[in-house]
Amino acid sequence: MDFYSNDYLGFSSSRLIYEKAEKILKLQKLKNGATGSRLLSGNLAIFAETEARVAKFHQSESAILFNSGYDANMGFFSSVPQKGDVILFDEYAHASIRDGLRMSLARSFKFRHNDLGHLRELLVKFQHFDTIYVVTESVFSMDGDSPDVQELLKIVREFQALLVVDEAHAIGVCGKDYKGLFQEESGAVFARIVTFGKAMGCHGAAILGSKILKDYLVNFARSFIYTTAMSPHSVATIAAAYGYFEEILDREPGELQQLRDNLQFFEEEIQKKGLSQHFIISESAIRSCLVPGNDAVKKLSEEMLKSGFIVKPILSPTVPKGEERLRFCIHAYNSRAEISEVLKLLGTFVSKV
């Protein structure tokens, strides 16, 4: 039983999305591969069509597709911030963001996780810089928690900083119409990174922002320029997933509401079974149970697997020593019986750790 994958809505095994992608492909010139970079032979019509669809869905002026979320973050942070700029990023930012920062000409400094007071202190300290970028995630991949959206926007506006948000784990799960925590505030965000390998159930990513930003990335983002573009099939699957998502929103919540119901039930069961003190507070589909020690958390994961539940251990140094955890991912297709049973087992094992 799956409590470990990022396939929150079950889209990766959706026959309807598979069939929709097949229909989209039949309308295209037959190609198994893009044949080259999008600046050479790989810029097929399906790319522009899908980018327009993604941009419209997310109420953005433009969208530019990348082969992965890693490529999107690498491309953005290595090319957009310039010498004389400063980047302030949450200390729990994803590895792809950090790797992009290492390649940037701008100076970068971390602020304590979701500590907006500390962020304000750094903004005061560096306010003389040409441009300040503030970087965070709407849902953090290891803790499943989120920043205070309204307070963050208030601070960014006050210092006229440019906000960059990775929405990878929020799309399909959080926010109005499940479109991300910053969807309603899209006009106040310089760039949003959305990825398709989580709730959308496929692969790839997009950077959302202004037309000028897109034009700049086309010409300077090396992870966009110097790679063969995604296959038409991958792009068709993205378009199909977004089409299916729109249909669900139009007719009834379906999988979206089922996920919300499961998240609520999971929280109720945590409290009912007296496990709240072991879990990091979260309203997302990621619920992390702290089990200090690599050996202890690995053993716990192995014991749960014996009972048919796949819950992956997250070890140090991926997370700080002493904050090792079991990372539960909740899905629309998990049953209440499965949720209740996996937490019952967890309670039994945690009491022995």
**Structure confidence at residue 242 (pLDDT):** 97
**Structure confidence at residue 29 (pLDDT):** 78
Query: What is the full DSSP assignment across 259-274?
Result: HHHHHHHHHHHHHHTT
Dihedral sign, Cα of residue 329, residue 330, residue 334, residue 337? positive
Q: What is the pLDDT averaged over residues 318-330? A: 95
Write the pLDDT tens digit of every residue in 216-238.
Answer: 999 999 999 999 999 999 999 99
Residue 353 has pLDDT above 60, yes or no: no
**Structure confidence at residue 31 (pLDDT):** 83
Phi first, then psi, for residue 313 (nearest 5°) are -80, 140
- Give the strand order in the sheet containing 62-66: 62-66, 205-209, 191-195, 162-166, 132-137, 86-90, 107-111
Residue 249 has pLDDT above 90, yes or no: no
The closest of 89, 8, 4 to 333, measured between CA atoms, is 8
Question: What band does 351 get if pLDDT is binned at 50, 70 and 90?
Answer: low
- Cα 207 to Cα 135: distance, rounded to the nearest angstrom: 14
Write the pLDDT tens digit of every residue in 42-99.
Answer: 999 999 999 999 999 999 999 999 999 999 999 999 999 999 999 999 999 999 999 9
How many CA within 13 A on the CB side of residue 273? 22
The closest of 98, 100, 113 to 143, measured between CA atoms, is 113
Exposure pattern of 302-320 as b/e (b: 16+ CB <10 Å)? Answer: eebeeeebebbbbbeeebe
Percent of the chain with pLDDT over 90: 92
Question: What band does 250 get if pLDDT is binned at 50, 70 and 90?
Answer: confident
Average pLDDT over the chain reads: 95
Taking the model in full, what pTM does it have? 0.95
Helix, strand and coil percent figures for the chain, each rounded to 5: 45, 15, 40
Residue with tokens 């496929």: 202
Dihedral sign, Cα of residue 230, residue 236, residue 237, residue 239? positive
Residue with tokens 């937490």: 343
- Amino acid at position 141, single letter: S
* CATH level 2 (architecture), domain 255-350: Alpha-Beta Complex (3.90)
Question: What band does 322 get if pLDDT is binned at 50, 70 and 90?
Answer: very high
Sequence ranges of the domains in the chain: 14-250, 255-350
- Report yes or no: 298 and 327 within 8 Å, Cβ to Cβ: no
**Structure confidence at residue 254 (pLDDT):** 83
Residue 257 has pLDDT above 70, yes or no: yes
- Cα 130 to Cα 81: distance, rounded to the nearest angstrom: 10
C-alpha distances in angstroms, 75 versus 14, 151, 229, 256, 272? Answer: 31, 28, 14, 31, 45
Q: What is the pLDDT averaged over residues 231-256? A: 91
Write the pLDDT tens digit of every residue in 101-143.
Answer: 999 999 999 999 999 999 999 999 999 998 999 999 999 999 9
Q: What is the pLDDT averaged over residues 177-188? A: 92
**Which residues make beta-bridge pairs with 87?**
108, 133
Helical residues (DSSP H) of 205-308, grouped into ranges: 211-220, 222-225, 232-251, 255-272, 294-306
Q: Provide the token pair at 255.
A: 């999988």
SS3 194: strand
The closest of 18, 50, 19, 20 to 34, measured between CA atoms, is 50
- Report yes or no: 186 and 58 within 8 Å, Cβ to Cβ: yes
* CATH level 2 (architecture), domain 14-250: 3-Layer(aba) Sandwich (3.40)
- Cα 33 to Cα 323: distance, rounded to the nearest angstrom: 43
**Residue length of the chain:** 353
Q: What is the pLDDT averaged over residues 272-294? A: 94
- Cα 119 to Cα 133: distance, rounded to the nearest angstrom: 11
**Structure confidence at residue 352 (pLDDT):** 62
